[in-house]
Structure 1
Amino acid sequence: MKKFLLSAGALLIIGIAFFAFNGCTLLSAAGLSSKGLSAKEAPRQLTSTTANSSVNLDHSGWTKLLQKYVDSNGDVNYKAFKNDRKELDKYLNMLSKNIPDNTWSVQEQLAYYINLYNAHTVALILDNYPLKSIKDLSGPWTKAIVPVGDVKMSLGGIENSILRKMNEPRIHFAINCASISCPKLLNEAYTARKINEQLDRVTREFINSDKNNIKEGSAQISSVFDWYKKDYLVHGVGSVREYVNQYSDIKIKEGATITFKDYNWNLNEQK
């Protein structure tokens, strides 16, 4: 019996490792934990507003860096970005000193956590540049490398334990894992003032981009729709097909064959 239990445990570990390796961000460094950080659930109809929040952070420093080093395709000039590392660190330190709590609006929280994830992903690449892929690094999504006040989060923890719990599936098209197949890195910071329009924009752009091949009778779509399938089934949406059709210029017919594209993990670097 002991031998069987050991074998089952080993298989579980192997299974988790495989899942984590093939998904973008699946487990935080200390398991699926928000470390006590506040994360409100987004309403069905999210609006953009700076009202009803005790804090309205200034993300303009991040916008300046993004507009300087990220092109319209979402590709990043990491080599040049390294020259502005002090400015990036200044922004990251500002985020660390501002800890989201329940007095923040859901709009402010969404903008904060998306920017936190994206900015620290860029920092991780810069710390290890040059490299071919983020997957060349050890535990890029499981190590606790993101300080927020007195706690440290992993990138996977931010995604899975905070952003995914906020019941807003469009976050999957806003966070960027520094890879070619990822939804593109928007070259402006997310803000509470524009959050709904920004999330709509990146979702629509991603679904109608070459990251998917959509036809009425069949569709090859990104693996993010496979990895996070349950996240899209909210607010009365019954299938991934229905979710995609909300944003796709070409509507996938009911009964159409849907498959998932292989993911290209090569670095999203400007050529």
Structure 2
Amino acid sequence: MKQFLIALFFLSTLQISSQNKIIYSDVAQDLLQNIIDKKSYDKEVQILSESTLTDLVDELQTDQQKIAFWVNIYNAFIQISLTENPSEYKNRGAFFGQERVKIAGELLSFDDIEHGIIRKSRMKISLGYLRKWFRPKWERKLRIDGKIDWRIHFALNCGAKSCPPVAVYSAENLDKEFDFMTTEYLKEQTTFDTATKTAKTVALMSWFRGDFGGKSGACKILKKYRIVPKEPKKLNFKSYDWTLLLGNFRTIPD
């Protein structure tokens, strides 16, 4: 009888522990959704601020989980930071480089999240070709493991008018969600001259051309996603409109 009671107590403890376990991916989604819905998000910010490196490493096992989580975090805190203090956008270099997002036991900058974690320790100004070799433990633990998914450039919103719209992403449907947002954004940003076979598209494909496989890779992407009818022979890039634009949200269809 004593052994039975001990076993019952142990199982009850495990069940309670399981019920109380925080799923940080859900918290990130709730944070961004509350911002979109104009609801309070203080609870989610606090939960994330109290997370540890071990918490996130244990939960975020796949690149899909990591990317969905960090894109939601990035987009949410861009909205929070620039809504609270839009004047910070006057010095964008300082804005993106300032450590401000408390998570995983660290204070992270937007550059840390984008270039360190999601882009696997790439140097910010290198056209996507150069990698940072000496990085802190938290970055090595949290960053993606595989190849850079170039579609992240059409999911991250940095607060500018030319940025892609903000949507809530999930690890389970990330490919479908990324493909939808990529297609919609590139259609809006790209023109094609059939006579000269020249495409003109968003500057993101130039700034991070290494992520896209160079200009030739970008041309293949435009054709693959049916943004243009033929693979371009020449590729030009539009000027980026850095006018501050918050609240540019979009719902991804089921």
TM tier, shorter chain?
0.5 to 0.7
**Counterpart amino acid of 2:151?**
R
Structure 2 residue ranges without an equivalent (≥5) = 1-21, 121-143, 249-254
- SS at 2:169 equivalent: coil
Give the helix-richer structure, 1 or 2. 2
Please report how far the alpha carbon of residue 138 of structure 1 lies from its aligned counterpart in structure 2 after TM superposition.
6.7
Q: Indicate if the aligned counterparts of 1:134 and 1:265 stay in contact, CA closer than 8 A.
A: no
Of residues 198, 203, 217, the one that matches 1:239 is 217
Rate the CA distance shift 1:246–1:128 in 2: closer, same or farther, 3 A: same
Rate the CA distance shift 1:63–1:113 in 2: closer, same or farther, 3 A: closer
Q: How many residues align?
A: 194
- SS at 2:41 equivalent: helix
Look up the match of 1:228: 208
Please report how far the alpha carbon of residue 269 of structure 1 lies from its aligned counterpart in structure 2 after TM superposition.
4.1
Look up the match of 2:187: 208
Look up the match of 2:103: 148
Q: Indicate if the aligned counterparts of 2:31 and 2:41 stay in contact, CA closer than 8 A.
A: yes
Rounded to whole Å, the distance in 1 between the matches of 2:44 and 2:219 is 38
Rounded to whole Å, the distance in 2 between the matches of 1:249 and 1:137 is 30
- SS at 1:258 equivalent: strand
Rounded to whole Å, the distance in 1 between the matches of 2:49 and 2:24 is 15
Rate the CA distance shift 1:97–1:201 in 2: closer, same or farther, 3 A: farther
Look up the match of 1:134: 89
Identical residues among aligned pairs (%): 23
Q: How far does the alpha carbon of each residue in 1:104-140 deviate from its partner, in whole angstroms, 9 at most, with x for none?
A: 23222111110111111011111114x5x83456711
Please report how far the alpha carbon of residue 193 of structure 1 lies from its aligned counterpart in structure 2 after TM superposition.
2.1
State yes or no: 1:163 paired with 2:118: yes
Rounded to whole Å, the distance in 2 between the matches of 1:193 and 1:160 is 23
Of residues 144, 153, 157, the one that matches 1:176 is 157
State yes or no: 1:62 paired with 2:31: yes
Please report how far the alpha carbon of residue 251 of structure 1 lies from its aligned counterpart in structure 2 after TM superposition.
3.1
State yes or no: 1:95 paired with 2:48: yes
Of structures 1 and 2, the larger Rg is shown by 2
Of residues 199, 203, 206, the one that matches 2:178 is 199
Rounded to whole Å, the distance in 1 between the matches of 2:157 and 2:35 is 13
Q: How far does the alpha carbon of each residue in 1:18-50 deviate from its partner, in whole angstroms, 9 at most, with x for none?
A: xxxxxxxxxxxxxxxxxxxxxxxxxxxxxxxxx
- SS at 2:108 equivalent: strand
Q: Indicate if the aligned counterparts of 2:50 and 2:105 stay in contact, CA closer than 8 A.
A: no
What aligned pairs does 1:4-19 form with structure 2 within 5 A after superposition?
none
- SS at 1:208 equivalent: helix
Rounded to whole Å, the distance in 2 between the matches of 1:55 and 1:91 is 11
Q: How far does the alpha carbon of each residue in 1:140-175 deviate from its partner, in whole angstroms, 9 at most, with x for none?
A: 100011111321111011111111124111111111
Rounded to whole Å, the distance in 2 between the matches of 1:119 and 1:90 is 14
**Counterpart amino acid of 1:222?**
V
Look up the match of 2:14: none
**Which of the pair has the greater relative contact order for Cα pairs under 8 Å at 6+ separation?**
1
Q: How far does the alpha carbon of each residue in 1:81-120 deviate from its partner, in whole angstroms, 9 at most, with x for none?
A: 5xx4xx2232223333344215523222111110111111
Please report how far the alpha carbon of residue 260 of structure 1 lies from its aligned counterpart in structure 2 after TM superposition.
0.9
**Counterpart amino acid of 1:149?**
A
- SS at 2:242 equivalent: coil
**Counterpart amino acid of 1:173?**
F
Rounded to whole Å, the distance in 2 between the matches of 1:58 and 1:145 is 21
**Counterpart amino acid of 2:44?**
Y
Please report how far the alpha carbon of residue 254 of structure 1 lies from its aligned counterpart in structure 2 after TM superposition.
4.5
Q: Indicate if the aligned counterparts of 2:48 and 2:103 stay in contact, CA closer than 8 A.
A: yes
Look up the match of 1:266: 243
Rate the CA distance shift 1:134–1:243 in 2: closer, same or farther, 3 A: same
Rounded to whole Å, the distance in 2 between the matches of 1:63 and 1:143 is 21
- SS at 1:152 equivalent: strand
Rounded to whole Å, the distance in 2 between the matches of 1:56 and 1:65 is 15
Q: Indicate if the aligned counterparts of 1:144 and 1:154 stay in contact, CA closer than 8 A.
A: yes
Please give the TM-score of this superposition, normalised by the length of structure 2: 0.67
Structure 1 residue ranges without an equivalent (≥5) = 1-53, 69-80
Q: Indicate if the aligned counterparts of 1:215 and 1:251 stay in contact, CA closer than 8 A.
A: no
- SS at 2:95 equivalent: coil
Rounded to whole Å, the distance in 2 between the matches of 1:120 and 1:270 is 12
